[in-house]
Amino acid sequence: MSEIKNNNLASSPFIPSPTSVGKIMRSVIYALIPGIAIYILFFGWGVLINILLAIVASLLFEWFMLVVCRRPVRVFLFDGSAIITAILLALALPTIAPWWIPVVGSFFAIVVAKHLYGGLGYNVFNPAMAAYAVLLISFPLEMTLWSVPLESIKSNLGFLNSINFSFYRELPPSLNFDAITSATILDQLRTEIGLGHSIEKVVNSSVFGFVAGAGYEWVNLGFLAGGLWLIYRKIITWHIPVAMLLGLLSISTFCYLLDAEQFSSPWIHLFGGASILGAFFIATDPITASTTEKGRLIYGFCIGLLVFSIRAWGGYPDGVAFAVLLIGLTVPLLDHYTAPKVYGARKGYDKN
């Protein structure tokens, strides 16, 4: 028995890890499914086409970059991170966007925002949001034409027709372009307030559903369900979503109470636009978010404040993407100053 040699280079612990990166990414994808399903239900196949296009493009670009950067392809290609980036990007795009929008977006997200900054775990900016920002600024027209809920056009733009539209911009004869596009609730509010009209008008218009944008509010509820499931499964912690929604809620309530004519109600802010998606899926991206508990609370809260600020006073109708990107820049600072006091630290300072 004395000839048994041990690989004594390894260190404890000798217990296998119960989670893996793949498991976490897959859980996030599952959590997105209810929201996506509702999205398809209300708005047709466009979103699914975008998602599929984005996934295929992302995986292709990911494979290409892994080969070029000489990283192990099998390990990284299917770890789920590229797929999540693709889905989040596709969800941020209008469903009637042409096919090359998700492809160009994927290129920027995967090649530039992710791999050129170092690959998985090293990217500074949330790739999906960075890509969205680039697309929004570069192709404002395509990025601001949003679809109406299907029931309002009383026809189902079928799967094949959707593909047709995406690739060839051809619609079936019964529909015309103007009929299927409309501004989003936040768009509408912005223009109307800018014009000096009261919010009442918008709230009573056809764009409005029960609490926020028609159709979109249900989608957000779907994402809320998914997000709560993620917290329950301990894939993400409650700090960032709660802090972000609290931040958004607090400042929007405050402003709404100040002037109900100028500022939309907090419910519109919570359930309109990408607030819920942002709170549970975008801001919680672990690689770009803060890592300490206190830091996360501050991070989420600041994003909430900034989202409202951009919506109310900024140049874009929805500020989630920009808010996440901007506050993400402050993460190293937050991490540095919110380090918890180590066990047994003597009063006054926590260094030796």
Rule CB under 8 A: which residues touch other proteins? 1-21, 23-24, 71-72, 75-76, 79, 119-122, 237, 286-287, 289, 291-293, 296, 335, 339-346, 350-352
Nearest approach in angstroms of CB 60 to other proteins is 20
Task: Specify the residue, 28 or 189, whose C-beta has the smaller distance to other proteins.
Answer: 28
Task: Specify the residue, 151 or 350, whose C-beta has the smaller distance to other proteins.
Answer: 350
Task: Specify the residue, 144 or 292, whose C-beta has the smaller distance to other proteins.
Answer: 292
Nearest approach in angstroms of CB 102 to other proteins is 24
Nearest approach in angstroms of CB 245 to other proteins is 20
Nearest approach in angstroms of CB 18 to other proteins is 7
Task: Specify the residue, 84 or 219, whose C-beta has the smaller distance to other proteins.
Answer: 84
Task: Specify the residue, 30 or 267, whose C-beta has the smaller distance to other proteins.
Answer: 30
Nearest approach in angstroms of CB 117 to other proteins is 12
Task: Specify the residue, 287 or 326, whose C-beta has the smaller distance to other proteins.
Answer: 287
Residue in the structure block whose two tokens are 């894939």? 235
Task: Specify the residue, 154 or 351, whose C-beta has the smaller distance to other proteins.
Answer: 351
- What residues have CB less than 8 Å from 300, skipping those under 6 apart? 239, 240, 241, 242, 243, 244, 246, 247, 279, 283
Nearest approach in angstroms of CB 19 to other proteins is 4
| Separation CA 87–CA 92 (nearest Å) | 9
Nearest approach in angstroms of CB 285 to other proteins is 9
Nearest approach in angstroms of CB 337 to other proteins is 12
SS3 letters for the chain?
CCCCCCCCCCCCCCCCCCCCHHHHHHHHHHHHHHHHHHHHHHHCCHHHHHHHHHHHHHHHHHHHHHHHCCCCHHHHHCCCHHHHHHHHHHHHCCCCCCCHHHHHHHHHHHHHHHHCCCCCCCCCCCHHHHHHHHHHHHCHHHHHCEECCHHHHCCCCCHHHHHHHHHHCCCCCCCCHHHHEECCHHHHHHHHHHHCCCHHHHHCCCCECCCCECCHHHHHHHHHHHHHHHHHCCCCCCHHHHHHHHHHHHHHHHHHHHCCCCCCCHHHHHHCCCHHHHHHHHCCCCCCCCCCHHHHHHHHHHHHHHHHHHHHHCCCCCCHHHHHHHHHHCHHHHHHHCCCCCCCCCCCCCCC
Residue in the structure block whose two tokens are 């929201």? 35
Task: Specify the residue, 20 or 206, whose C-beta has the smaller distance to other proteins.
Answer: 20
